[in-house]
């Protein structure tokens, strides 16, 4: 197999995996597919750009700033936009979240226009490993994405907050009866997911270019990864991200690269028809 394609696929997967996990965490607590991820990621990328290029902060500080702002945006969007609409059907909320994503993207467009931008970092020569090229930034993305995934897993498994989150995702009424504060857990989940979206914005800005559609272009692969792994299952989202990330790159072997997105969709469609609950999801129990 072509090693370069494998490396590209791995980098692609590490762009998708953390937000797919964040998406699935949000879904567990909010109970609707929040498609505003594209808008959140765009906000993250542009906040980091503002801090890094306009305020001339170092990239690490800019990244932390972007994560904090995005966490705040995700929490505020839930309180102001989504929470009052909790009684609507999930599909209506899905459309509302897409609309909200459009609002965020276009607010960014209003202030920054659609020009293509990049972070203020020194250009470095790609590292060559057995003929495959990988840039130092891509290597950072790869390692950080892995670290984030492990960290989220540890939080979910071993901390009180993680247990509370799983309890709410499992059965919100029962969790409340046991004295868990739905409001605080929702806020915490939003903040955690938001920080991950902000970080993804920085990753995407490092690997691609910064423009208002940066988030929207990632939305479909992220959603696909979450579905493939089974919505609500963080480990599934990771595996899903690797499958989608690899599939997108490897299809270049058999089809023109312009068909990349289509092949991703086709795999998902076939998969959904054969195993609708995803790789690791529980089959839905109907009343």
Partner 1 sequence: MLAYIVSLATFVGFFMLLAIALNLQWGMTGMVNFGIAGFYALGAYTSGILSSKLGLPVGLAMMVAVLAGLAAGAALALLSGRLRDDYLAIVTLGFGEIVRLIILNEDQITEGPRGLRIAEQPLAGWVSVENYPLLYLGLVVLAVAVAFALSETIRRAPMGRVLRAIREDELVASVLGKAVLRHKIRIFAIGGGIMGLAGALYAHYVQNISPDVFLPMVAIFIWMSVIVGGAGNNWGLLLGAGIVMVLLEGSRFIGDIAPWIDAEKLSAGRIILIGVLLIVTLHLRPQGLIPEPRYRNKFQRKS
Within positions 114 to 133, which residues make up the interface with partner 1, using CB under 8 A?
114
User: Of 214 and 227, which CB lies nearer to partner 1 in the complex structure?
Assistant: 227
For residue 7, the minimal CB distance to partner 1 (Å) is 25
User: Of 162 and 234, which CB lies nearer to partner 1 in the complex structure?
Assistant: 234
Residue 256 makes contact with partner 1 by CB under 8 A: yes
x-marked contacts with partner 1 along 69-108 as a string, rule CB under 8 A: ------------x--xx-xx-xxx-xxx-xxx-xx--xx-
Nearest to 254 by CA among 227, 57, 211, 262: 262
Find the binder of partner 1 among 130, 254, 273, 285 (CB under 8 A): 273
Q: H helices within 125-213, ranges in order?
A: 136-158, 160-170, 172-177, 182-207
Residue 253 makes contact with partner 1 by CB under 8 A: no
Find the binder of partner 1 among 155, 180, 235, 261 (CB under 8 A): 261
Q: Give the three-class secondary structure for 125.
A: coil
Query: In this chain, which stretch among 12-20, 118-126, 167-175, 270-278 interacts with partner 1, using CB under 8 A?
Result: 270-278
Q: Give the three-class secondary structure for 86.
A: coil
For residue 126, the minimal CB distance to partner 1 (Å) is 30
Nearest to 125 by CA among 114, 133, 115, 117: 133
Within positions 20 to 79, which residues make up the interface with partner 1, using CB under 8 A?
33
**How far apart (Å, rounded) are the C-alpha atoms in residues 172 and 116?**
43
User: Of 81 and 155, which CB lies nearer to partner 1 in the complex structure?
Assistant: 81
Within positions 171 to 230, which residues make up the interface with partner 1, using CB under 8 A?
220, 223-224, 227
**How close are the terminal C-alpha atoms of the chain, in Å?**
47
Burial tier of 239 (Cβ tally within 10 Å: 0-12, 13-18, 19+): buried
**How far apart (Å, rounded) are the C-alpha atoms in residues 208 and 206?**
6
Query: Which H helix or E strand runs over 132?
Result: strand 132-134
List the beta bridge partners of residue 150.
none
The residues binding partner 1 (CB under 8 A) are 33, 81, 84-85, 87-88, 90-92, 94-96, 98-100, 102-103, 106-107, 109-110, 113-114, 220, 223-224, 227, 231, 256, 258-259, 261-262, 265-266, 268-269, 272-273, 276, 284, 286
């Amino acid at each position: 197999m072509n090693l370069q394609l494998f490396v590209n696929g791995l980098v692609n997967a590490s762009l998708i995996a953390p937000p797919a996990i964040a998406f699935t965490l949000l879904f567990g607590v909010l109970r609707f597919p929040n498609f505003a991820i594209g808008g959140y990621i765009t906000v993250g990328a542009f906040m980091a750009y503002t801090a890094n290029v306009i305020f001339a902060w170092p990239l690490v500080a800019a990244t932390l700033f972007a994560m904090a702002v995005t966490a705040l945006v995700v929490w505020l969007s839930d309180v102001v936009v989504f929470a009052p609409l909790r009684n609507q059907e999930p599909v209506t909320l899905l459309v509302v979240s897409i609309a909200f994503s459009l609002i965020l993207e276009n607010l960014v467009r209003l202030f920054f226009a659609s020009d293509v931008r990049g972070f203020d970092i020194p250009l470095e020569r790609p590292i060559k490993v057995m003929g495959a090229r990988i840039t130092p930034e891509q290597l950072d993305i790869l390692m950080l994405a892995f670290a984030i995934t492990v960290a989220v897993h540890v939080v979910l498994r071993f901390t009180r907050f993680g247990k509370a989150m799983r309890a709410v995702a499992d059965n919100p009424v029962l969790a409340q009866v046991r004295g868990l504060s739905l409001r605080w857990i929702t806020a915490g989940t939003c903040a955690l997911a938001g920080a991950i979206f902000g970080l993804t914005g920085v990753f995407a800005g490092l690997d691609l270019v910064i423009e208002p559609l940066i988030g929207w272009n990632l939305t479909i692969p992220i959603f696909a990864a979450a579905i493939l792994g089974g919505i609500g299952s963080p480990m599934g989202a990771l595996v899903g991200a690797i499958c989608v990330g690899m599939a997108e790159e490897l299809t270049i072997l058999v089809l023109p690269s312009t068909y990349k997105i289509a092949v991703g969709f086709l795999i998902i469609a076939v998969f959904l028809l054969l195993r609708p609950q995803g790789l690791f999801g529980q089959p839905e129990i109907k009343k």
